[in-house]
Structure 1
Amino acid sequence: MAEHPRYVPAPTGRSTAAESGAILAGILLLMSSIMNIFQGISAIAKDDIYATTSKYLVEIDLTTWGWVHLVLGLAGVVAALGILVHAAWAQVVGIVVAGLAIVTSFAFLPHYPLWAVLIIAFNVFVIWALSVQLRD
């Protein structure tokens, strides 16, 4: 009986840590983008809200904020799915989307500090992991 050749994946030149980090980055970007979509939909459903903190009184137009998050979330889902199937364009798009998500999270740092810091940390990791993979 002839022995079947074993499957050996083709070498990609990427380190295992970079490849694993990119997969985790794709998953984290997908989760963060889905949350952006949900936040966007819920914000579009309302008109205006006044959020107060100890030093701030900020009027936030939830409809505009919702559309920004909805579009950013949809772009993030497309980029995350592209990252998970190893599309080269998706890495750059993922870095851009994660960077924009950091900026939008900074805007709400005074109002929702724990959530904003968590989303910022996710997106910093996504940018780092995708940058390492691009370098390799």
Structure 2
Amino acid sequence: MSAPNRTRTQAESATQQWAFGLTAFAGVMLLITGLLSIFRGIMAIAQDDVFVTTPNYVFKFDLTSWGWIHLALGVIATIVSFGLFQPAMWARVAGVAIAALVIIANFLSLPYYPVWSVVMITVSGFIIWALCVVRRDDSAVSP
């Protein structure tokens, strides 16, 4: 193998490893986000007094309703995270979609659990970023 071909093969290999690393990062973070959303949902369904109640909030739902929303999002996120450990385009698209829904749900439930909602929004933003910088052919987008 000639030197230019070897260099290109090494660069492609490094790029593929970078892409795999980002997808694995997104999968692990989506799994953690899903599990924490499940726990948050169970907590809101079982004990409403854990959360702060805000009067006159525009998006006010019963805390049990927010619990079911977070529980459902957590279960879906956990399932999708396992698909991210395989090179599946559906899992990347679903991962971006579920992370976006997690951001929206946490934004709307911000007054009930503010610090945790901001943390979940940030983590979900990183998940979306990690899934979007990988090209369809599983090579990382070069800057």
- TM bucket normalised to smaller: 0.7 to 0.9
Structure 1 counterpart of 2:46, which letter? Answer: A
- What does residue 127 of structure 2 align with? 126
Question: Residue 69 of structure 2: SS of its match in structure 1?
Answer: helix
Give, in whole Å, the separation in 1 of the partners of 2:119 and 2:94. 21
- What does residue 102 of structure 1 align with? 103
- What does residue 80 of structure 1 align with? 81
CA contact (8 A) 1:75 1:97 kept: yes
Equivalent pairs, count: 123
Question: Residue 123 of structure 1: SS of its match in structure 2?
Answer: helix
Q: Which runs of 4+ in 1 moved over 6 A?
A: 47-50
Displacement, 1:80?
0.3
- What does residue 5 of structure 2 align with? none
Instruction: List aligned pairs for 1:1-136, cutoff 5 A.
Output: 15-46=16-47, 51-52=53-54, 57-58=56-57, 59-135=60-136, 136=139
Cα separation, partners in 2 of 1:106 and 1:45, compared to 1, 3 Å:
same
Long gaps (5+) in structure 2: 1-11
Structure 1 counterpart of 2:18, which letter? Answer: A
Question: Residue 51 of structure 1: SS of its match in structure 2?
Answer: coil
Cα separation, partners in 2 of 1:119 and 1:19, compared to 1, 3 Å:
same
Structure 2 counterpart of 1:34, which letter? Answer: L
Query: Which structure shows the bigger proportion of residues in helix conformation?
Result: 2
Query: Which structure shows the bigger proportion of residues in strand conformation?
Result: 1
For residues 45-100 of structure 1, give each alpha carbon's deviation from its aligned partner in whole angstroms, at most 9, with x where no partner exists: 24687613xxx544541221111111111110111000012222111111110000
User: What is the aligned-residue identity percentage?
Assistant: 40
Give, in whole Å, the separation in 2 of the partners of 1:113 and 1:47. 15
Give, in whole Å, the separation in 2 of the partners of 1:51 and 1:34. 24
CA contact (8 A) 1:26 1:83 kept: yes
CA contact (8 A) 1:50 1:57 kept: no
Q: CA RMSD in A?
A: 2.5
CA contact (8 A) 1:91 1:130 kept: yes
TM-score (normalizing by structure 2): 0.73
